[in-house]
Structure formats: structure tokens, C-alpha cells
Amino acid sequence: MPIALISVSDKTGLAEFAGRLAEAGWRMLASGGTAKALTAAGLPITEVAAYTGSPEILGGRVKTLHPAVHGGILSRGTDADRAELAGLGWSEIDLVVCNLYPFEATIARPGADEAACVEEIDIGGVALLRAAAKNYARVTVVCDPADYGRVAASLGTGGIGPGLRRELAVKAFALCARYDAAIASWLDPGFGAGLFGYAGQGLRYGENPHQRAWLYTDEPGAGPLGGRVLQGKELSYNNLLDLDAAWRTAAGFDGTAAVVVKHLSPCGVATTGGASPAKALEAAIACDPLSAFGGVVAVNRAFDAAAARALGDAFVECVAAPSFTPEARELLAKRKNARLLEMGERPSRAAVEYETRSIAGGFLRQEIDRGDPYGTEWKVVSRRAPTEAELAALRFAWKACVSAKSNAILLAAPIDASDPSAGYATVGIGSGQPNRVDSTRIAAERAGDRARGSVLASDAFFPFPDSVEAAAAAGVTAIAHPGGSIRDGLSVEAADAAGVAMVVTGVRHFRH
């Protein structure tokens, strides 16, 4: 009679799966709460403590850490191993069903104290998974309730095959690796959280068709970016990068915001005080309609019918929003090639804490740039101080500037010149250039006549006054930049000569 050892924290689908094991003639060992749950379901269970002859101790901290258990799992299936186990009164264990204490869910709860978090660090479960996964040549390990169905189905079709055992072993090792990484990074945030993920899906290709690519997620079975695809074909590698950039930017605004991203560069950002994102979306697209063609759109409010109509004839690859109204879904369904990604409630500013990039021989990891640190104060350095209206526009431009590629120059203005309270939008963006004056000229060129009366945000200081002079010539009236160049004085002189107000923020926002 084959033997299964069952010890789980998440009991989803367990009773049904154990019932199918019982029908197939398996003997089942179970520990602690798992044994109680299965016994209550009317299933024949032998408690681990009865099988080993050793009681659970230390309040349940030690249940399965016993040679009768691990010897049974690690037996290689040889006559010698079986004889040794039999001499001790033990048997081989053929199937291990185990998932781990919810450590990550515990540390994510607001106010969880350290002692409670430590208690959720699983020891015996990890040991069971590793032992069973190591011995995948003979033993099947199941760490995910989503696999119960196919494992149960295989019982009646000749048994669990070697291919499935190997696949499930990989899954168990990956779970242990990610679990340990979560613990280590909780104890030391510099360790490297986010370096281990769950295989989400293989992508059609990477940035180019000759490159292979995969999506990994923070949670098993999670959708792209934690959202849910409602419509459209499979998201590509490039779509996911653009969606991430657009969604992070939109979610960072408190007011209603819309963002258009193309090739990881924002080509329009707008925010309004209204509940519907329609006006913000129109303004964001208007910033650079040519670049917006084939771009990715994100808004931080429910996408309604007015927003769907605001897209006009613009071709968009993807739309991300917390939700989509039925009316918007009906209108967007006509756009067969547009993917819709429902993100759920807007994430908190701390939803994503770090970003990681690979380099030759290693990787880089840094905290996410969320804008100016708390308490940052701007300093007026020009003879003329910005007006209240200019200052409000500068604060919008400065916040939007964080998401643009360096060297980044953003020109912004009120959406409605007669009513500054209606919101603000970028009117020209220059980014990703190897020098700042080219970015300034590009931003001014894209803004055209809208540059007159606009304000400018620069993600880093001006090494020379040429960018300030180009901005003033285009009609910019106020500038915000970090300051810190040895030639700051020359930039201030250029601003004063043109009557441009200038503030220094003291914070740089490079994005390479």
C-alpha cells in the first residue's frame, strides 16, 4: 500500500484530494491540524505522532522532524534501504503533500510584531519539501493545491510519471528558495527581495522576435503586474514594460491622472480634479499625439465610457485602470487589438519597494524613486519668484518628471488657461538624450506654440546655461531643477536676463 504524508497550512481542496487518495488505496499520514481536518472529513488518517511513536513537542514546533518520516521520504527504493527501514519498523513514503506557513502574508499585515512573524517561519515543512524534491526519482511532492487535480488524475492512469515528479520537484525547490529569500530580506532589506518569483508564463518573445522571454510573478498564479487581462491578445514583453511604467506613474498621483507611455518613455501626463479620467486622458494624448500612436495608456480611476470616447481614433496597445465600467467595456470591445488590464484598487506608494536590473556578472538593486523625500524644500534662486499658478504647474511637472528617462525635460501648462484649477498636463517632453540641451529643444519643438507660458522641470541640474536660454526662447516662464552644478550661477543669470523664474529643488531624479 503506497503511503502519503500530508502536512499543510493552506487546506484549500485538501479533503477532496485526500478522498481520491483513499479511493485509490493510499494510506495517509498527517500531522497536527491537518490530521484533525481530514478526520473531521471522515477520512482514515494515521497521525504522524502515532506513526513515529514521538509526540508533537514545543507547542507544535516539532511535528515531522523525525527519522521515521525523513528516512521514509529519502529511501532510494533499493532493497538495502527498504530492509533498513523495515528493521526499524518504518516504511517508505511515496507522496508528500505540504505547503508552508503564511510567512509573507503575516509580514505584510500592518502592525504584525516580530514575534508573530518569527512564529510563521516554517521549519518542518521546508524540510519535507526539500527531502521529497531531492528524491523525485521515487517520491512525488505537491506544494500547490492547484496541482491536486492532475496528480489525482494520474493515479488512475498508470501512476505518477517521472516527468510530473520532476516538474513538481522544481516547483517545490523554487518555493523554498523564494520563502527563504522572503525571510532573509525581512531580516535584512538589503538582502535582495524580489529576486525570486513564480513562473507566470512564457512570453511570445522578448524585446525582439529572436529573444526568448518569461514573466515571473510575486504570487503563484498572479496576473501580469498583479492585474487581470480582460480583453485582447497575450501581452508582450514590451507591453509589460510600458504598462509597468505607465501604471506606476499614474498610481503616484493623488488626483485623477492619465499617462501615455511609448517605448518606456512617457509621451503625455495629465492630472485633473475630476472623477472621470476623460479630460486627463485627452490632455495626455494631446501632448504628443504622434508618439501616442501605438502606445500604452494608464489611468488611476475607473475607466468609464467618457474615457473610452476620449481615446478617439488613437490606436493604443493596452489600457490599464483600477476597473472598467460595463459601458466602457462595450465600447472598448470594438478595439480588438487593445488589451485591457484591470489592476484593482490603486496600490499604496509602498506597493513596489525595489527595482532590480541585471548586469554582466551580477545585478543592481535600488529603492524605487518615489519623488522628493519628505521635508524637501524648494528655493527660489532667480530675481523673480514664480507666481502661485506657475508654482502649481511646476509641482505637477516635477512629479511627472520622475518617470521620464534622463536627460529629462518636461514642459507643462494648465489644461484650461482660464481655469488653472482644472488640472495640468505636459505639453512637451524631451527625454533619453545624451545631453540636456537636445532634450530641451525636443520638448520645445513638440510643444510648439503651447511652450509659450509653460513651465519646465529638469530631472538634473543644467551644466551650462544653454538649456535655460533655449527654454526662454521657446516661451517658458518658470523652471524647476535640482541645482548643484558649479555653473549654477550662469543658469540663474540666463533666467534673470529672460525674466524667467527659477527654483532649485535640491533633489535629482535620474532615470537611466
CATH label of the domain that carries residue 276: 3.40.140.20
pLDDT at 142 over 90: yes
pLDDT at 104 over 60: yes
pLDDT at 348 over 50: no
Q: What's the CA gap between 494 and 187, in Å, rounded?
A: 51
Which of 187, 217, 249 marks a domain boundary? 187
Clarify whether 70 is annotated catalytic. no
pLDDT digits (tens, 9 = 90+) for 231-249: 988 899 999 999 999 999 9
Judgement on whether residues 161 and 17 belong to the same structural domain of the protein: yes
Q: What's the CA gap between 445 and 433, in Å, rounded?
A: 15
pLDDT digits (tens, 9 = 90+) for 175-198: 888 888 888 877 777 665 556 666
Judgement on whether residues 24 and 158 belong to the same structural domain of the protein: yes
pLDDT at 87 over 80: yes
Judgement on whether residues 95 and 181 belong to the same structural domain of the protein: yes
Which of 297, 321, 342 marks a domain boundary? 342
Domain annotation covers residue 215: no
CATH of the domain at 156: 3.40.50.1380
Judgement on whether residues 177 and 258 belong to the same structural domain of the protein: no
Domain annotation covers residue 204: no
Cross-strand partners of 340: 231, 319
Q: How many domains does the chain have?
A: 3
Q: The sheet that has 265-272: what strands, in order across it?
A: 228-231, 339-342, 316-321, 295-299, 256-262, 265-272, 423-430, 409-414, 455-458, 478-481, 501-504, 379-380
Burial of 1 (C-beta count, 10 Å sphere; 0-12/13-18/19+): exposed
Which of 342, 368, 398 marks a domain boundary? 342
* Per annotation, catalytic residue among 134, 210, 279, 481: 134
Q: Which residue has the higher pLDDT, 420 or 151?
A: 151
Domain that holds residue 314: 225-342
Judgement on whether residues 236 and 149 belong to the same structural domain of the protein: no
Judgement on whether residues 89 and 141 belong to the same structural domain of the protein: yes
Clarify whether 509 is annotated catalytic. no
Domain annotation covers residue 264: yes
* Per annotation, catalytic residue among 210, 263, 336, 379: 263
Domain annotation covers residue 216: no
pLDDT at 108 over 80: no
Secondary structure of the chain: what % helix, strand, coil (to 5)?
40, 20, 40
pLDDT digits (tens, 9 = 90+) for 284-310: 999 999 999 999 999 999 999 999 999
Burial of 325 (C-beta count, 10 Å sphere; 0-12/13-18/19+): middle
